[in-house]
C-alpha cells in the first residue's frame, strides 16, 4: 500500500505548476507564428527589391559605358561631315591647278577654300588667338625665344608669332608659339 500511495503522489501534478508547453497560450502562439511569417515575407520582399535594384544599376552602368564608347567613336563625326565640302573644294582646286596657265584664278580659288575652311571651323567654336603686340602671357603663349626688343615699349611683349594659337569655345586648345622682346 505504501508503494501505491507513493506512485499516486508522483503522478499527481503539483498544485500551481503546469507543463511549459501548456503555459503558452494558443492565441499567443498563432500571433507569434503570424509575426514570424510576416517578417519572413518582409525579408523576402526586401531581398527581391535589393536584387532588382542591383540588376537595374548594373544595366545602367553597362548602358552608360556603351554610350560613352559610342560617343568617343563618333565624337568628331559632326566636324568631319561639315569639313567634307571643304575637302571637295580642295580637290577641285588641285584639278584646276593641273591645267591652269594663269595663276591668278588658282590663287583666288585657294583663298576661297581657305576662307570656307575658316568659316566652318568658326561655326564649330574655333577662334584664332591674337598675339602679336600683346603682353606675353604664359597661360596663352609658348615663348620660343627672347630677342632684343626694337623699342623699349616692346619689352615683355610678343614681337612675332611663329605658330598661331587657338581657342575652342573660349578654352585654349593650342598655345601660340611666339618670339618675346627682351
Tens of pLDDT along the chain (182 residues) come to 555 555 555 555 555 555 555 555 888 888 999 999 999 999 999 999 999 999 999 999 999 999 998 887 777 778 888 888 888 888 888 888 888 788 888 888 888 888 988 888 888 888 888 888 888 888 888 888 888 888 888 888 888 888 888 888 888 888 989 888 88
44 in a structural domain: yes
107 in a structural domain: no
4 in a structural domain: no
Which are the contacts of 180, defined by CB distance < 8 A and separation ≥ 6?
A: 136, 141, 143, 145, 146, 147, 156, 157, 158, 159
The model carries a pTM of: 0.54
12 in a structural domain: no
For the chain, the domain total comes to 2
pLDDT at 78: 80
Which of the listed residues 46, 74, 102 is the one where a domain comes to its end?
Answer: 74
Residue 40's domain comprises: 34-74
96 in a structural domain: no
Domain with residue 155: its CATH number is 2.30.22.10
Amino acid at each position: 500500500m505504501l508503494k501505491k500511495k507513493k506512485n499516486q503522489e508522483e503522478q499527481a501534478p503539483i498544485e500551481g505548476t503546469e507543463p511549459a508547453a501548456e503555459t503558452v497560450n494558443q492565441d499567443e502562439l498563432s500571433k507569434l507564428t503570424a509575426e514570424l511569417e510576416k517578417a519572413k515575407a518582409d525579408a523576402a520582399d526586401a531581398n527581391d527589391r535589393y536584387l532588382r535594384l542591383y540588376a537595374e544599376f548594373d544595366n545602367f552602368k553597362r548602358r552608360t559605358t556603351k554610350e560613352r564608347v559610342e560617343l568617343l567613336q563618333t565624337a568628331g563625326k559632326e566636324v568631319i561631315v561639315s569639313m567634307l565640302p571643304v575637302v571637295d573644294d580642295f580637290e577641285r582646286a588641285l584639278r584646276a591647278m593641273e591645267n591652269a596657265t594663269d595663276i591668278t584664278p588658282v590663287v583666288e580659288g585657294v583663298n576661297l577654300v581657305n576662307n570656307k575652311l575658316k568659316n566652318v571651323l568658326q561655326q564649330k567654336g574655333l577662334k584664332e588667338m591674337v598675339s602679336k603686340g600683346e603682353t606675353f602671357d604664359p597661360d596663352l603663349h609658348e615663348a620660343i625665344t627672347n630677342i632684343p626688343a626694337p623699342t623699349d615699349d616692346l619689352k615683355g611683349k610678343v614681337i612675332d608669332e611663329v605658330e598661331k594659337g587657338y581657342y575652342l569655345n573660349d578654352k585654349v586648345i593650342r598655345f601660340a608659339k611666339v618670339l618675346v622682346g627682351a
